[in-house]
Amino acid sequence: MLTLFEREHLDVNNLAEADTAIRVEQLSLRFGSKPVLENISMSIPKHQITALIGQSGCGKSTLISSFNRLNDLHQHCHYSGKVIINGRDINSRKENVAQLRTQVGMVFQRPNPFPMSIFDNVSYGLRLQGINTRRQLDEAVEQALHDAALWNEVKDRLFEPANVLSGGQQQRLVIARALALQPEILLLDEPTSALDPLTTLFIEELMAGLKKRCSIVIVTHNMQQAARVSDYTAFLHQGRLIEYSDSDTLFTTPRKKQTEDYITGRYG
Amino acid sequence: MSKLPSLSSVLNAGQRQSLFIGICTFFTAILLLAMVSIVLLIFARGGGYFWPEDIQQLQFVRASDDQPITAYGQYQNQFEQGGEPVRWVVYSHARNPYGNQTLLDDTNLLQARLAPEAARISLRDGRAILGEPLKVTAPSDPDVSLNRLAQRLTQVRQIEQSIAGIRDEQLADIHQKLTELDQRKVGKKAPARLTLNQGFDRWHKRILTLEKQRDAYQLFVRLADQSIVSVALIEVEHLVYPGQLSGWQKLGEALYEVGGFLSESPKQANTAGGVFPALFGTVLMVFLMTIIVTPFGVLAAIYLNEYASNNGLIVVIRIAVSNMAGVPSIVYGVFGLGFFIYGVGGNIDALFFEANLPAPTLGTPGVFWASLTMAILTLPVVIVATEEGLRNVPQGLKAGSYALGATKAETVLYTILPMASPGIMTGVILAIARAAGEVAPLMLVGAVKFAPNLPIDAEFPYLHLERQFMHLGVLIYDGAFHSQTDAKGASMMFAACLLLLVVVFVLNILAVLLRTKLRKRYHKG
């Protein structure tokens, strides 16, 4: 009887292959001589929302960026270990990184629309994939804007510059831009930290709806947000994975003292 | 002896601050003064070239031979020499009606009065007569009144046109046919040849008649000393009475002169006429240079900024680029001459145009080599400005592009370059302004005082990049040397300066507008 009200949880520390979106194996990463991630192993479940929490500088953003190799942009980034997506180790030299990034979409802390029209922003990724027919683009752009719950607000001004949108609209535009490529995984790096509470709520609802379409990994500073939106939560501290379990357990009965201290606000 | 009191003991903190501000303001004011006086001088002297100065009837003693002279004259400019006011005067005299000039001391000036009856008659070859037009004659028409001057001018020009028409169409055709006959070795008495010769004679006679008619149109002019000279009307280009014009009419006259200045060729060894070939040469050279330097500079900057890792070699390249900006331009000129013209051009000649040697085909100064040299000279400007623009592209946008599956090249092409375009534009326009004003290297690699042909004409292949060209800066340089002996040449130099200044101003304003527009498009707010 009780199980009806409780959510069914997978055991993230022993996840079946079919349920895994990303498997991280002994990932270590350093920028120059400064270690950022140390020996992280975890599995991120498919079609769930996984939150990464921890103090500033604990490596959350670096971890999420290693899921689409965006850390490569840093000149002195060195990593070891494996990140397996769809059975491929994306850290291998043979990986087609551009292709990977179409499958693993990413949204950043600050909305970063390109200085082009709304339409061009959403179709940017598609055009790079060589989709150029107007009809295909139109359909995909409309679908993506629907998915990001932005269509009704911008449908009459698709060809206006994206810069005129408000912050929340810009962030949803950026989400639409990522969704247009129909990614399997969506990485959100503190997507609401630059937005007001109401807009934040809006984006959180959006995430819950997107779960059906892709696996979501979200980095957040906001514990309440992590508790509200996520199914699973991982707590990082100084580059190490301290605790990782379903969110209900982690926020109500954390096993580690450090986790408890952090979520109760004793440090951080 | 007591020690000098230190500044801080004499002035309190507030006074020290205002002293400092005062000093800074002083130097800024001096700077402002310098800029304003440059602009004013160039505008006054350059503008004066176009302004129709009143004609005066002067009586003076010529300094060279102490002869008293009565003549119509125009003051060119006025300055002090040893405390005495001195004027350059251009005047018409019976012995040489076409503009003598002299340096006139006020003590030598006996009498001067405004002469509204006198006109300035500009001739086609750039010379001018100052005198009172008396009458204009025409063949078989006893009416010689000046009222019909405009009509007579049209008539004589029509005649000139028909002469030119006959020369170009009929005679050229006959000449060509005769040459063909010569080549086919047709005999002297062949009927074809005779017909042609008859035709030639007929047209030639027609030309002679027309020329006689044309020369009957004469304009008679009375000089101040009552002597009368006549000028063939066909030689007269423009006639104006400066003494009878109101201020606005003078302005109109000045604008007419500006039009002529921009559209005509230089005359009288660059002391009269217009600067069109120089303007055209400058624009063409700068245009070619832009086409060459923009891709070079932009691509190099992209490599340095986006692709190259920050190792020692890149640091060395960056330092070299900044140093290139400081190398004296004459060094580039010598490089262009030695490397491009003698080296590259000479080798091309040896390989492909051996038949013409020793006359060089490409191994000689020309507009293409000049553009190439200037491109190298302005390359650092473009590279530095482009790098600046590239650095200003927010990291977040690049990351956004990569996160959508763009490769580095795609990110550069679709995101970074459009964002950096204001910076690139700035660099290119600065480069253009620099190249438009450069003189020294150009004189080595292709700019000349006088070029008979434009680099573009109706002759295949239409664009003659191997030709030498005229350049505004070189024209000014040339004019500066004339100014020692020739007041008119000096004024023309100032007018060319004014034109150059205007060109650079316009380019800079264009740059600012373009940059603001692009900034608005690519940056919020």
B295 to chain A, minimum CA–CA distance in Å? Answer: 23
Q: Which of A2-11, B73-82, B344-353 has the lowest mean pLDDT?
A: A2-11
φ/ψ of A26, rounded to 5, equals 45, 50
pLDDT tens figures, B409-440: 999 999 999 888 888 888 888 888 888 888 89
CA distance A203 to A148: 9
Chain A residues lying within 8 Å of B398, measured CB to CB:
73
Q: Which of these ranges, B34-38, B127-131, B215-219, B520-524, has the smallest mean pLDDT?
A: B520-524
Choosing among 3.40.50.300, 3.40.50.720, 3.40.50.1860, 1.10.3720.10, the CATH entry for A47-58+95-263 is 3.40.50.300
H or E stretch at A159: none
Query: Residue B410 phi/psi, 5° resolution?
Result: -65, -40
Of B21-30, B258-267, B303-312, B453-462, the range with the lowest mean pLDDT is B453-462
CB A218 within 8 A of CB A67: no
DSSP three-state, residue B54 = coil
CA distances from A70 to A91, A125, B31, B396 (A): 11, 16, 51, 12
Chain B residue with minimal CA distance to A171? B400
**Contact residues, chain B, for A106 at CB < 8 Å:** 403
Distance from CA of A100 to the nearest CA of B (A): 7
Share of chain A above pLDDT 90, in %: 23
What's the token pair of residue B368? 């293409």
3-state SS class at B360: coil
State whether residue A162 sits within 8 Å of chain B by CB.
no
- pLDDT exceeds 70 at position A54: yes
Give the H or E element holding residue B109.
strand B109-114
Correct CATH for B276-470 of 1.10.3720.10, 3.40.50.1000, 3.90.1150.10, 3.90.550.10: 1.10.3720.10
Interface contact B406-A128, CB threshold 8 A: yes
* Token representation of residue A74: 């840093």
> Cβ–Cβ of B402/A70 closer than 8 Å?
yes
- Quickly state the pLDDT bin for B36 (edges 50, 70, 90): very high
CA distance A207 to chain B (A): 19
Structure tokens that stand for A256 in this block: 């580690």
Helix (H, G, I), strand (E, B) or coil at A4: helix
The residues in A 112-141 lying below 8 A from B, measured between CB atoms, are: 112-115, 124-125, 128-129
CA distances from B520 to B366, B506, B507 (A): 41, 21, 20
How far is it, in rounded angstroms, from Cα B135 to Cα B148? Answer: 9
Identify all chain A residues contacting B399, using CB atoms and an 8 Å cutoff. Answer: 70, 73, 108, 112
Rounded-to-integer distance, Cα B471 and Cα B266, Å: 12
The distance of A121 to chain B (nearest Cα, Å) reads 10
Chain-chain contact of B405 with A181 (C-beta, under 8 angstroms): yes
In this prediction, the answer to ipTM > 0.90 reads: no
User: Which chain A residue has its CA at the smallest distance from B413's CA?
Assistant: A128
Residue A115: its chain B contacts at CB < 8 A?
418-419, 521-523
User: How far, in Å, CA of B12 to CA of B18, rounded?
Assistant: 10
pLDDT digits (tens, 9 = 90+) for B467-478: 888 888 888 888
Q: Which chain B residues have a beta carbon less than 8 Å from that of A140?
A: none
Mean pLDDT check: name the lowest of A182-191, B145-154, B314-323, B355-364: B355-364
Within an 8 Å CB–CB cutoff, is residue B311 touching chain A? no
- A199: number of CA atoms within 13 Å, CB side? 15
Dist CA B289 CA B380 (whole Å): 13
- The dihedral over CA atoms of A120, A121, A126, A128, expressed in degrees to the nearest 10, equals 90
Q: Which residue of A has its CA nearest to B310?
A: A75
* Cross-chain CB nearest to B407 (options A98, A105, A181): A98
Whether residue A268 is predicted with pLDDT greater than 50 in this model: the reply is no
Among the partner residues A75, A112, A115, nearest to B418 by beta-carbon distance: A115
B523 pLDDT tier (thresholds 50, 70, 90): low
Interface touch A161/B521, C-beta < 8 Å? yes
For the cut 90, the answer to whether the pLDDT of residue B375 exceeds it is yes
How far apart CA A74 and CA B524 sit, in angstroms, is 27
Q: What is the pLDDT of residues A224-257, one digit of tens each?
A: 888 888 999 999 988 889 999 888 888 888 888 8
- Among B310, B400, B523, the residue with its CB nearest the CB of A108 is B400
Chain A, chain B: beta-carbon pairs less than 8 Å apart: 65
For B522, nearest residue in chain A (alpha carbons): A115
Calculate mean pLDDT across residues A24-43.
Answer: 90
- Taking all residues of chain B, what is their mean pLDDT, rounded to a whole number? 84
Predicted confidence (pLDDT) at residue B5 exceeds the cutoff of 80:
no
- Distance (Å, rounded) from C-alpha B303 to C-alpha A40? 36
CA distance B522 to chain A (A): 5
The answer to whether A76 faces chain B, any CB pair under 8 Å, is no
Average pLDDT over residues B384-388: 91
pLDDT digits (tens, 9 = 90+) for B56-113: 888 888 777 777 888 888 877 777 777 777 777 778 777 777 777 777 777 777 778 8
A127: distance to nearest CA of chain B, Å? 10
* Cβ-proximal residues to B307 (8 Å cutoff; 6+ apart), any chain: B408
Q: In chain B, which residues have their Cβ closer than 8 Å to the Cβ of A112?
A: 394, 396-397, 399-400
Single-letter code of the amino acid located at B253: E
In whole angstroms, give the CA distance from residue A45 to residue A15.
7
> Which chain B residues are within 8 Å of A113, Cβ to Cβ?
400
pLDDT cut 70: percent of chain B above it: 96
CB contact under 8 A, B398 and A73: yes
B397: chain A residues, CB-CB within 8 Å: 112, 114
The neighbouring-strand residues paired with B123 are: B236
Residues of chain B with Cβ-Cβ distance to A68 below 8 Å are 403
- Chain B residues whose CB is inside 8 A of the A61 CB are none
Residue B396 touches chain A, beta carbons under 8 Å: yes
pLDDT attached to residue B520: 79
CB contact under 8 A, A106 and B394: no
**Among B487, B327, B305, which residue's Cα sits nearest to residue B384?**
B305
Give the start-to-end residue ranges of the domains of chain A.
Answer: 47-58+95-263
| Per-residue confidence band for A1, with pLDDT thresholds at 50, 70 and 90 | very low
Please tell me if residue B437 touches chain A, with a CB cutoff of 8 Å.
no
Mean pLDDT of chain A, nearest integer = 87
In this prediction, residue A3 has a pLDDT band, given cuts at 50, 70 and 90, of: very low
Residues of B in contact with A125 (CB under 8 A): 404-406
Of A75, A98, A161, which has the smallest distance from its Cβ to B406's Cβ?
A98
Contact by Cβ (8 Å): A178, A186: yes
| CB < 8 Å to B410, chain A | 128
B411 in contact with A, Cβ within 8 Å: no
Minimal C-alpha gap between B398 and chain A (Å): 9
CA dist B449 and B330 (Å) reads 18
- CA torsion B491→B492→B493→B494, rounded to 10°? 50
Instruction: Write out chain A residues lying below 8 Å of B409, CB-based.
Output: none
Contact B396 A124 (CB under 8 A): no
**Could you check whether the bond before residue B461 is cis, i.e. omega within 30 degrees of 0?**
yes
Confidence band (pLDDT; 50, 70, 90) for B297? very high
Q: Tell which wins on pLDDT, B80 or A209.
A: A209
Read off the pLDDT of residues B299-347 as tens digits, 9 standing for 90 and up.
999 999 888 887 889 999 989 998 988 899 999 999 999 999 988 888 8
- Residue A129, class by beta-carbon neighbours within 10 Å (0-12 exposed, 13-18 middle, 19+ buried)? middle
DSSP B453: S
pLDDT at B393 over 80: yes
Q: Give residue A234's pLDDT.
A: 92
Q: Are A101 and B405 in contact (CB < 8 Å)?
A: yes
- 3-state DSSP: chain B helix, strand, coil percent, rounded to 5? 60, 15, 20
Q: What is the pLDDT of residue B277?
A: 87
Model confidence at A217: pLDDT above 90: yes
Token output for A54: 């921890």
What gap in Å lies between CA A40 and CA A27, rounded to an integer?
5
* Amino acid found at A111: P
User: pTM for the whole thing?
Assistant: 0.77
Residues of A within 8 A of B404 (CB-CB) are: 101-102, 105, 124-125, 128, 177-178, 181
**A73 interfaces chain B, CB cutoff of 8 Å:** yes
Is A128 in Cβ contact with B405 (below 8 Å)?
Answer: yes
User: Region B245-274: what's the mean pLDDT?
Assistant: 82
Q: Which of A124, A175, A193 to mutate to test the interface with B (most CBs of B within 10 A)?
A: A124
- Give which of A61, A36, A52, A12 is closest to A222, Cα–Cα: A52
The partner residue sitting opposite B404, judged by closest CB among A110, A128, A161, is A128
CA distance A115 to chain B (A): 5
Please tell me the distance from the alpha carbon of residue B443 to that of residue B474, in angstroms, as a whole number. Answer: 7
Six-digit token string for A149: 């719950």
pLDDT score of B2 more than 70: no
The answer for residues whose C-beta is within 8 angstroms of residue A239's C-beta and 6 or more apart is A35, A36, A37, A38, A40, A58, A59
